[in-house]
Amino acid sequence: MKVKYAQPSKLAAAKYTKELHDFSWDDKFTVIDAWNKLKEIRRKIIAAKPSARGQYDDESLLLILTSVLPDSYQSIVDTLNVQIYLTVDD
């Protein structure tokens, strides 16, 4: 059944890549929920297309996350952006 209903990897990779690029903030999210969702989508992309492993690193996901955060987070994002020595983990 798994083989019968599994999407071809190219279609799955395209679907999840679109989902990642179209990611938007949901009022039910916390920042951690949104971050985990982005990492989940990345895992799905890599599972469907292993060659994409280095394409969506944590910095790329952080850019997506900070671009969709509500305006109430803008001062925090600005503060983080000027801290040139902070890593994504920090």
Where in the chain are the domains? 2-82
pLDDT of residue 28: 93
Cα dihedral 59, 22, 69, 53 in deg (nearest 10): -20
Mean pLDDT by 10 residues, the chain (90 residues): 61 92 94 96 92 90 94 89 82
pLDDT of residue 9: 81
SS3 content of the chain, % helix, strand, coil (to 5): 70, 0, 30
pLDDT of residue 52: 86
pTM: 0.81
pLDDT of residue 12: 87
Token pair belonging to 48: 């469907």
